[in-house]
Structure 1
Amino acid sequence: MELRQLEYLVTVVEEASFTKAAAKLHVAQPGVSAQVKQLERELGQELLDRSGRTVRPTEAGAAVLPYARAALAAVADARFAVDELTGLLRGRVAVGMVTSCAPLGLPDLLADFHKDHPGVEINLVEDNSDRLIAALRAGRLDTAVVGLAGPAPQGIATETVADEPVVAVVSHDDPLAGRTGLAFDALRDQPLISLPRGTGLRTCLDEACAAAGFAPRIAFEASDPNVLAQLAARGLGVAILPGSLAAYHRATLHTITFTGPELRGRLALAWRGEGPAGPAARALIERARRALAPVRP
């Protein structure tokens, strides 16, 4: 049994594909298949179900996976111990982010980390919070900035980096523009402009509507909060935005706070509860926890 075989097995499971795993590992796909088959022969069991459109672990494969990951983590830790003595750090870190986290300074954080640790390969992807959390659980990401409407999901550790009110915004000539406060129930028949499902802000909206006894009437959806602001400014409905973004667009938008219940949205740095897989990821997470100072207006 070789570490390479364990690495290939784990990567195929994470990518649910031999082809994608080979691309991620920068090796030929037949080589990945051959090494996994050799591992299966040695263990006397099929570890992967190749019958469907995606590759999944068999019962035996699922039993082997935790030990494979532990072995790879142990090797990474041994390398990290040596790297600490020599001032080096190597490896790969996969980072995720939601669209609305740009003001937190994540690009600067990643650039500074790369400057200090040029031997670490950094990958960044953007997605909604639900899919980022799923990727964290599956091991495809090491850490991510996600939006949360409530407690942290099971198995995910988080540290809040922004906590602010969620508000409604309308154009200055909208009939609601004369209001500074609004009971949430008043949105019952209003055309709403919101982020898509799977985002923290949308979850916050959907839960508040459900608590008030109605389903939101979503007229427009966009993944960029600035687009929501622009749609509202053109008189197309009531946009639901973080308070800081509403303040940024105050020249074209009128902000209305909710008088009950108050809505708050959070951005959080998230990672797997049992810890990241490698030393490079741990180093980046520790730096991110120091650098992404909480914002709670």
Structure 2
Amino acid sequence: MDLRQLEYFVAAAEERNFTRAAERVHISQSGVSARIGRLERELGAELFDRSARTVTLTVAGKAALEHARAALAAAGAVGRAVGEVTGLIRGRLTVGMVVGCTLTPLFDALAAFHEAHPGVEIALLEDRSDRLLDGVRTGAVDLALIGTATAAPDGLESLTLISERLVAAVPAGHPLARRRQVALRDLMTHPIVCMPPGTGLRAVFDEACAEQGLRPTIALEAGAAQAIADLAVRGLGVAVLSASMAETYRDRLTVRPLVDVGTPALLALVWKGAHNPAVHAMLVHARREFRDFPGVRPQAASGGS
């Protein structure tokens, strides 16, 4: 067996889907299936139950998973140890990015990192914030830019980049456009257009509604601010966005802060310790690019290293 086989096996086990595993390791689905099939033949046991739409680990697969992770971690440690001695950083850095991200300082940080460390292969993964958090915790993602309702996700370290209030945005003729102040209760008689579950903004909104015992009507969900704004412009619902998201659309929408939502929506970089030299170096570039960005403040979660 080789490390690539183990990498593909771990990816398929964590994604529970060969297609998503193939996207994660950047090869075709047939390539993932072939390598895993070869590994199964070498081990003399099936590692996955492929009878359902979602692949699941067999008993043998569960027994092999932690050992495969340990083998990959050990191989990575060998490269890092040599790199620390020689002053070189090599390997692979997987950076997660929340869907719809348009923060140019992040792209500038990636470019500066790539120029400084050309020996590191950079993989960029776009997904929902909750899935990216899971990826950081399992080690599938080294560093991720997420939307969150808490500045310090449990067990992780973080750097808050944006902290801002939620707003309601409606077209000029909407009844809420005539109000000077808008509270959550004012939204309850109107359909709402919002981010989907699993996003930081939606978590803040849902928690605020739950605190007041309110049950909003979520008419439509979209993962990008532009889509939410465009739907609101067409009268399909009240857009719930963060202040900076809504700012771009003030020529078409009337924006009102939600006065009784005290918890801000956050955009943050999160990681699970910086023992990997590539993660540490990337954080140096990220802090440099974001140093003049409004509201940046580091947070370390209890238990984070």
TM-score (norm 1): 0.79
When residues 28 and 143 of structure 1 are mapped into structure 2, their CA distance, relative to the original with a 3 A threshold, is: closer
Does the residue aligned with 1:270 lie in a helix, a strand or coil? strand
Q: CA deviation at 1:164?
A: 0.8
Tell me the distance in 2 between the aligned counterparts of 1:94 and 1:152.
Answer: 21
In the TM superposition, 1:178-197 aligns within 5 A as 178-197=178-197
User: C-alpha separation between the residues in 1 aligned to 2:4 and 2:99?
Assistant: 36
Q: Which runs of 5+ in 2 are unaligned?
A: 297-305
Confirm or deny that 1:284 pairs with 2:288.
Answer: no
Residue in structure 1 matched with residue 299 of structure 2 by the alignment: none
Could you tell me which residue of structure 1 aligns to residue 168 of structure 2? Answer: 168
The SS at the match of 2:80 is: helix
- Deviation track 1:104-155 (CA, whole Å, cap 9, x = no partner) reads 5222221221222222222222222223223334443222211112465545
Unaligned runs of 5+ in 1: none
CA offsets, 1:255-293, max 9 Å, x none? 21222242410112123x4x4795434533454355444
Checking the alignment, whether the CA contact within 8 Å between 1:8 and 1:35 is kept in structure 2 is: no
- What percent identity do the matched residue pairs reach? 43
**2:32 is the alignment partner of 1:34:** no
The change in CA–CA distance for 1:231 and 1:9 in structure 2 (over 3 A counts) is closer
Equivalent position of 1:233 in the other structure:
233
How many residues are treated as equivalent by the alignment?
290
Q: 1:36 to 1:187 in 2, by over 3 A?
A: same
Q: Name the stretch that deviates more: 68-77 or 150-159.
A: 150-159
Instruction: Answer with 282-291 or 187-196: which moved more.
Output: 282-291
Determine the structure 1 residue equivalent to 2:295: 296
| AA at the equivalent of 1:49 | F
Alignment partners' CA distance in 1, 2:123 and 2:3: 23
Give, in whole Å, the separation in 2 of the partners of 1:84 and 1:142: 18
Deviation, structure 1 residue 247: 2.6
Change in Cα spacing, 1:16 to 1:168, as seen in structure 2 (3 Å) is closer
SS in 1 for 2:103: helix
Return closer, same or farther for 1:96/1:188 CA change in 2, 3 Å cut-off. Answer: same
Pick closer, same or farther for the CA change 1:74–1:279 going to 2, 3 Å: farther
Between 127-136 and 105-114, report the one with greater CA deviation: 127-136
Contact 2:188 2:214 in 1 (8 A): yes
Q: Which stretch shows the higher mean deviation, 168-177 or 19-28?
A: 19-28
Whichever residue aligns with residue 250 of structure 1, its letter is R
Q: CA deviation at 1:65?
A: 3.5
Seen in structure 2, the aligned counterparts of structure 1 residues 209 and 19 have a Cα distance that, compared at 3 Å, is: closer
Residue 144 of structure 1 aligns to a residue whose secondary structure is strand
RMSD: 3.4
SS at match of 2:182: strand
Deviates more, 1:26-35 or 1:106-115: 26-35
Question: Is 2:219 aligned against 1:215?
Answer: no
Return the alpha-carbon distance in structure 2 between the equivalents of residues 131 and 249 of structure 1: 29
2:18 and 2:32 in contact (8 A); partners too = no
Q: What letter is aligned with 1:266?
A: L
**CA–CA distance in 2 between the matches of 1:112 and 1:150?**
29
Matches within 5 A, 1:115-134: 115-134=115-134
Cα 1:10–1:151, aligned 2, differ >3 Å: closer, same or farther? same
SS in 2 for 1:159: strand
Residue aligned with 1:213, SS: coil
TM-score (norm 2): 0.78
